[in-house]
Amino acid sequence: MADQPTAFLPVFEDPADTDTFRLRVERYGPDLLDGLRRVYGERVTELHERVLGIMGAGFAARPHDLRLLDEARLLHPDWLQEPGMVGYVAYADRFAGTLAGVGERLDHLTRLGVTYLHLMPLLKPREGENDGGYAVADFRAVRPDLGTMDDLEALAGHLRERGISLVMDLVLNHVAAEHEWALRARAGDPRYRAYFHVFGDREQPDAFERTLPEVFPDFAPGNFTWVEELGGWVWTTFNSYQWDLDWSNPDVFCEFLDIILHLANRGVEVLRLDAIAFLWKRLGTDCQNQPEVHHLTRALRAAVRVVAPAVAFKAEAIVGPTDLATYLGTGVNHGKVSDMAYHNSLMVQLWSALASRDTRLTEVALSRIPAKPATTTWGTYVRCHDDIGWAIGDDDARRALLDGHAHRVFLSDFYAGHFPGSFARGLVFQHNPATNDRRISGTCASLAGLEVALEAGRGDAVDLAIRRIMLLHTAIMGFGGVPLLYMGDELGLLNDRSFADDPDHARDNRWVHRPRMDWGLAAAATSEGDGGSDDVVTHAWAARRVFAGLRHVVEVRAATPHLHARTESRVLSSPDARLLILKRDHPLGAMVQVYNVSEDWVELSCGILRGHVGVVVDERLSGFEYSLAPPTLTVEPYGALWLTVR
């Protein structure tokens, strides 16, 4: 029976619903079944029936307006890939106090052209330290100081009216040690103990530790935590209060499917699959990127496509390029897992190029990223709420004639502000003495030089910092994918050192780059009319330039069909190490982008460009027509060109 994807089909009151559900199961059922079978083997028959039951209940509960959205999205399957998509990422409280407060600040987002709002973890976390909300105590309740589930639903509705999709985290690798499942496990309930990886002695944990890295070596060394009430060691990849779930238990799959549908029916349109790489454990490996992760995602996605096809998945997998491709799907999972994945490598490479004024490593690294399925997209970003880890492959470095270790040391020194001549002001996060790894915290503006420049009161340095901020953002907007702007970066917000006074944040300096929104500065930066003083050494002046600059690039981008994510950016070999050159082969004609990662005026031979885009081209960012007939053109300091065929 279970071999029939349509076995155990639910029947709904309205026969049209029964038909819709059946048609979708005919389409996606095989993926659901195959994904489940690859993970759960023989248990699939019983499980399939349960899963269809959960799907049926979710479908019956799906509100009318969201069903309309489902139909619209089925007619518009590439909605996430379009060049008009612009993401914004914020903690609700830091942005606007509460969920209702967020609803009152939507004009700011609309002004910026935002169509996708990722509100950082807002479900009820544990009390006290909670890893920025990533230690969830209840997936069906909102953090009380932010509002209620009804507020969330109302906000989702307001956003939808403005064409903004609500994005939320789905933390599916772990729960807070205070989540009901953990409490029941602690109380001795065997059903819930089986939701976690619990070991009575050190034998297994020690065996696993031999090949496991540490995510937070500073404040959470090791991957297991002794819990007295369990009489055992529980798997805790992240902090000791975040218990990893055992996804080999089908009950865990069913719980999460139900949670996903619950959130989807409240209006969440994109789920960010947090720490997805860690879901499956296998002895002798680093317990990341295991094939089962993708089969599980395929099964979850197939079930969601049936009930709520408006919903998309985004993988948060901060992993090497070859592994990254598997999150958008390779082999049997091609194009059937996440619809979107973070392009961590692009982010790291942009910072690396800025520090070294050299794009050769960037060329190597980007050209080695496998092509993604045509239906998927990247999430491109300059920075996020996490630290920057220098994910630079030794092999890539070698090909760029660099020593990987030495380059990573250089980048940490540079962005911590320790390297002579560095413009950056970052903090070292999680120094691992064993590997000498030093990750970096800091806002985009502080890392790009604005903090140092403002402090020195130097207009020329402020100008260069703004140009760096713009270059980074123009590159993520030109690369293809959904650019994810991190709250405050549109105003050049600086590091916020007040986290050190908050006992729940003091140990985690990632809070330095999660500042509170400065609405005064926002008003100064966005007020039209009087441009204010020409005094380039004020923050307000810098904020105004950054905001206006970003808004402009967003507008140009939306009007440039070449930036649809179906087309890939490819790296062209650049004759000058200070220039990164990308090409997109679009049916409308080629697009070539040039980015200068240095403070120099750089001459580029037009002959190189002519072969790709012809002699007369549109430069989209300036809106001017360019002639590539002369022998060279000059790219200004940190300048960018978006050239398209006439």
Catalytic residue among 93, 151, 255, 316: 316
Q: What angle do CA 197, 202, 205 make, to 5 degrees?
A: 50
Question: Nearer Cβ to ligand GLC, position 323 or 386?
Answer: 386
Supply φ then ψ for residue 349, to 5 degrees.
-65, -35
- CA dist 61 → 52, 55, 57, 65, 164 (Å): 14, 10, 6, 12, 23
Residue at token pair 């989702």: 156
List 275, 300, 440, 475, residue binding ligand GLC (CB under 6 A): 275
Q: Please report how close the Cβ of residue 118 comes to ligand GLC at its closest, in angstroms.
A: 11
Closest residue by Cα to residue 366 from 571, 533, 184: 571
Question: Nearer Cβ to ligand GLC, position 340 or 582?
Answer: 340
Cα torsion 608, 613, 614, 616 to 10°: value is -110
Helices (H), 62-211: 64-75, 92-96, 99-104, 106-112, 149-161, 180-186, 190-193, 203-209
Question: Nearer Cβ to ligand GLC, position 209 or 386?
Answer: 386
Query: What is the distance between the alpha carbons of residues 531 and 543, in angstroms, rounded to a whole number?
Result: 12
Query: What is the distance between the alpha carbons of residues 182 and 187, in angstroms, rounded to a whole number?
Result: 9
Query: What is the distance between the alpha carbons of residues 484 and 192, in angstroms, rounded to a whole number?
Result: 37
Question: Nearer Cβ to ligand GLC, position 389 or 459?
Answer: 389
Residue at token pair 């966005």: 526
What is residue 619's three-state secondary structure? strand
Q: Which 148-207 positions form the footprint of ligand GLC (CB under 6 A)? A: 171
Q: Please report how close the Cβ of residue 343 comes to ligand GLC at its closest, in angstroms.
A: 15
- Per-residue x/- marks for ligand GLC, 405-444, CB under 6 A? ----------------------------------------
Q: Please report how close the Cβ of residue 584 comes to ligand GLC at its closest, in angstroms.
A: 29
How buried is 145 (Cβ within 10 angstroms: 0-12 exposed, 13-18 middle, 19+ buried)?
Answer: exposed
The answer to whether 551 touches 128, Cβ cutoff 8 Å, is no
Which residue's Cβ lies closest to ligand GLC? 134
Per the structure block, which two tokens stand in for 203?
């034998």
List 93, 178, 269, 274, residue binding ligand GLC (CB under 6 A): 274
Question: Nearer Cβ to ligand GLC, position 70 or 131?
Answer: 131
Q: Which 552-591 positions form the footprint of ligand GLC (CB under 6 A)? A: none
Catalytic residue among 129, 269, 274, 396: 274
List 31, 246, 316, 451, residue binding ligand GLC (CB under 6 A): 316
Question: Nearer Cβ to ligand GLC, position 87 or 132?
Answer: 132
Give the distance from CA 267 to its chain's centroid.
Answer: 20
Query: What is the distance between the alpha carbons of residues 269 and 263, in angstroms, rounded to a whole number?
Result: 9
Query: What is the distance between the alpha carbons of residues 92 and 94, in angstroms, rounded to a whole number?
Result: 6
Query: What is the distance between the alpha carbons of residues 558 and 560, in angstroms, rounded to a whole number?
Result: 6
- Tell me how many residues contact ligand GLC (CB under 6 A): 10
Question: Nearer Cβ to ligand GLC, position 343 or 385?
Answer: 385
Q: Which 283-312 positions form the footprint of ligand GLC (CB under 6 A)? A: none
List 209, 386, 413, 599, residue binding ligand GLC (CB under 6 A): 386
Does position 484 bind ligand GLC by CB under 6 A?
no
Q: Which 114-133 positions form the footprint of ligand GLC (CB under 6 A)? A: 131-132
Question: Nearer Cβ to ligand GLC, position 316 or 496?
Answer: 316
Q: Please report how close the Cβ of residue 274 comes to ligand GLC at its closest, in angstroms.
A: 5
Supply φ then ψ for residue 643, to 5 degrees.
-100, 130
Q: Please report how close the Cβ of residue 386 comes to ligand GLC at its closest, in angstroms.
A: 5
Give the distance from CA 584 to its chain's centroid.
Answer: 23
Question: Nearer Cβ to ligand GLC, position 95 or 541?
Answer: 95
Q: Is 455 a catalytic residue?
A: no
In this structure, what DSSP letter does residue 493 have? P
Q: Please report how close the Cβ of residue 367 comes to ligand GLC at its closest, in angstroms.
A: 27
Residue 580: strand pairing partners: 595
Residue 619: strand pairing partners: 624, 643
Q: Which 515-544 positions form the footprint of ligand GLC (CB under 6 A)? A: none
Q: Is 129 a catalytic residue?
A: no
Q: How far apart are the first and last CA of the chain?
A: 58
List 21, 134, 235, 247, residue binding ligand GLC (CB under 6 A): 134
Query: What is the distance between the alpha carbons of residues 300 and 307, in angstroms, rounded to a whole number?
Result: 11
- CA dist 161 → 106, 165, 176 (Å): 11, 9, 34
Q: Please report how close the Cβ of residue 134 comes to ligand GLC at its closest, in angstroms.
A: 3
Q: Please report how close the Cβ of residue 185 comes to ligand GLC at its closest, in angstroms.
A: 19
What are the residues whose beta carbons fall under 8 Å from the beta carbon of 322, sequence distance 6 or more?
370
Q: Please report how close the Cβ of residue 238 comes to ligand GLC at its closest, in angstroms.
A: 4
- Per-residue x/- marks for ligand GLC, 217-256, CB under 6 A? ---------------------x------------------
Question: Nearer Cβ to ligand GLC, position 385 or 468?
Answer: 385
Supply φ then ψ for residue 199, to 5 degrees.
-125, 130
Count helices and strands in the chain by DSSP H and E runs: 23, 25
Q: Please report how close the Cβ of residue 135 comes to ligand GLC at its closest, in angstroms.
A: 8
Active site residues: 274, 316
Residues that bind ligand GLC (CB under 6 A): 131-132, 134, 171, 238, 274-275, 316, 385-386
